[in-house]
Amino acid sequence: MFAIARSKTHFISMEKRLEQLPKLSKETLPETRKYFKMLKKRTPKNLDVVMKELHEDEFKKTDCLSCGNCCKTTSPIFIEKDIQRISKHLKMKEHNFIDQYLERDQDDFMVLRTAPCSFFDATDNSCFIYDVRPKACSEYPHTNRKKFIQITDLTLTNTEVCPAAHTIIENLKKRIPLHYNKKVKRS
């Protein structure tokens, strides 16, 4: 989960966005895949700047506490420092924390055993360990990441989970359309 909510006023619209997201993301997926392929071939120099702007604009309007879809459906990766910090916070030994909550995925990353996340509070979509949450949670959906072009595959997946990420990418397509992208010169 990216950020603390600013208000509850987007609750109904977020409900609708989440309801529409599976169908919408399925429809846009082939086009987005093609778009990212083109973008990789000719990456505009200002891509990270544009992404940062689009990300900030979208998260000014997005209330993560009315959503929580990332925490409900996916797992962050837990790196060593996350495990140390969170187990200390929970006053647990690291190996007990790992045994209780984590497992290795097929890529050998430490991930949650269950979804929704064990630290997710379904009563208000908040996080029990918000202040010490994994780095991957604090950076999710990574749409303002430097060298964004390197994480387009991950972003494709995230557009199916995160309504904000989906909107950001749709806005990116408008901001840097393919026909424009074809004309971008490397210099």
Binding residues (CB under 6 A) for ligand SF4: these are 1-2, 62, 64, 67-71, 76, 117, 119-120, 127, 129, 133-134, 137, 140-141, 161-164
Cβ 86 to ligand SF4, closest distance in Å?
Answer: 8
Shortest distance (Å) from residue 44 CB to ligand SF4: 25
60/63 Cα distance (integer angstroms)? 8
Question: Interhelix angle for 163-175 vs 11-41, to 10°?
Answer: 50
Task: Tell me whether residue 68 or residue 176 sits nearer to ligand SF4 (CB atom).
Answer: 68
Contacts of 153 (CB under 8 A, 6+ apart): 36
- In the complex, what is the shortest distance from the CB of residue 81 to ligand SF4, in angstroms, rounded to a whole number? 14
Which residues, listed in sequence order, are joined to residue 111 by a DSSP beta bridge? 103
The distance of Cα 89 from the centroid of its chain, to the nearest Å, equals: 24
Q: How far is the CB of 141 from ligand SF4 (least distance, A)?
A: 5
- Quick one: 170 or 183, whose CB is closer to ligand SF4? 170
Q: Do residues 52 and 59 touch, judged by C-beta distance below 8 A?
A: no
Length of the chain equals 187
Q: How far apart are the first and last CA of the chain?
A: 38
Q: How far is the CB of 115 from ligand SF4 (least distance, A)?
A: 9
**Virtual CA dihedral for 54, 60, 63, 69, nearest 10 degrees?**
20
CB of 8 or CB of 45, closer to ligand SF4:
8
Under 8 Å between Cβ of 181 and 38: yes
- Of 38 and 129, which CB lies nearer to ligand SF4 in the complex structure? 129
Select 35 or 140, whichever has its Cβ closest to ligand SF4.
140
Task: Please state the closest distance from residue 108 (CB atom) to ligand SF4, in A.
Answer: 20
Instruction: State the Cα–Cα distance between residues 132 and 118, nearest whole angstrom.
Output: 14
> Which lies closer to ligand SF4 via its Cβ, residue 124 or residue 153?
124
